[in-house]
Every structure is written in C-alpha cells, then in structure tokens.
Amino acid sequence: MRTNIYVDGFNLYYGAIRGTEYRWLNLERFFRLLRPHDDIQTIYYFTALIDGSHQQHQLEYLRALETSPKVRTVMGRFKFKQVKCSVPQCTYKGSKWFQVPEEKRTDVQIALAMTRGAWDKSCDRMILVSGDSDLVPAVNMVKEIAPNIEVVVYVPARHEARGAAVELRGAADKDRILPNNLFQHSQFPATLPDGQGGTIRKPQGW
C-alpha cells in the first residue's frame, strides 16, 4: 500500500527519544524497518527551530534528514507567552511572570498535510506518529474525505501514562506504541556527506 507518514517531531522526541542515545535517528531507515511491506511515498517531519545552545545540534540533524530522499521537513515556530509562577515552594508563586516558549503551527501543519493527502489520494495508508489529542479532528477529517484510506497511529512513549492517548487511538483504524527497539538499528553514521561537497557530523553527546 502507498503510505504517507506524518511525524510530530517534538512528540516523538519527548515521548520516546529524549534521554536516550538515539537522537541521531534516520527516519527513512526507521520506517523502512517498521513498515517493510509498505510503499512509502513521503515522510513528513514536523518541528520548529529551538533557541539556545542546542540549536546548532538541531540544525545539523535537519541537514542529515535532508539527505534522505523520502523525508520532507515542515517547520513551525516558537512563540513566547507569559506564565505566572505556580511552583508551591517558590517565593514568587502567584506574583512573578516568566516568558515560556510555546511551539506553534505544528498541529495545524499536520492537519493540513493529512487533509491534502486525503483530497489528492496520494496514499492508501497514513501513519501518524503522535499521542496528541489535538490531532483527532485531523484524523476524523481524513476518514470523512477518504474513508478508504487507513489511518494508523503510533504513539511515541516509554511510559504507560504517556502511551494512553485514548482519544487519538480511538479515532484511528489501528493504533500501536512506537517500537523503541528499532531506534538502535536506525541511526545515521557519525559523519555523512551533505550532497554538496560538505560533511554532516553527529553532535557530541548524541
């Protein structure tokens, strides 16, 4: 079956990859191992550029993803919002405001990409990698537009509570926990050519 894959990048990272040694993940390799009988068309990877000292690491990873012919990166952005301190032990509780980054546009970008795939019939199956219930309307819309397209949800989770994702699982035709045991077999090499005469290097600590 022709398959499009939609990866919620931060959901994947915080649900399954953070704190592991598998951040240098070759998405195309991973999904070829996960779905060996699917005819993978496009792997959409949705993320946003972070601020701070680790931004260069992320940029290097995005460059590595660009070497995979099936992967298409879709960028959102971060917007700062004001949040009042609510830590019980903090002396500033209820009286001091802080700026907190909030990822924007990712859910909408995923919903639009899935809806487009349903309209143009570019696939027979959609794989959604996320546990975010905000994507339930997107899955419902796909089923309304193209009921013959199978929607499979893989929830990235190393802990039972995060893996529940009851609403999103319920909207899909099939649902599973993303198998973490494939990460170790799906890493980019430590160095790889960028296709333009340069070299991409795995960040230290990854």
**Tens digits of per-residue pLDDT, 130-168?**
999 999 999 999 999 999 999 999 999 987 666 689 999
Q: Is residue 150 part of a domain?
A: yes
CA torsion 160-164-169-171 (nearest 10°) is -170
- Residue pair 20/183 in contact (Cβ under 8 Å)? The answer is yes
The CATH number of residue 11's host domain is 3.40.50.1010
- What pLDDT score does 85 carry? 72
Domain that holds residue 68: 2-77+104-201
The number of domains in the chain is: 1
- Helix (H) or strand (E) segment spanning residue 155: strand 150-155
- Mean pLDDT lowest for which of 85-89, 95-99, 188-192? 95-99
- Helix (H) or strand (E) segment spanning residue 55: helix 55-66
Q: Is residue 42 part of a domain?
A: yes
Q: Which of 65-79, 90-104, 148-162, 170-184 has the highest mean pLDDT?
A: 170-184
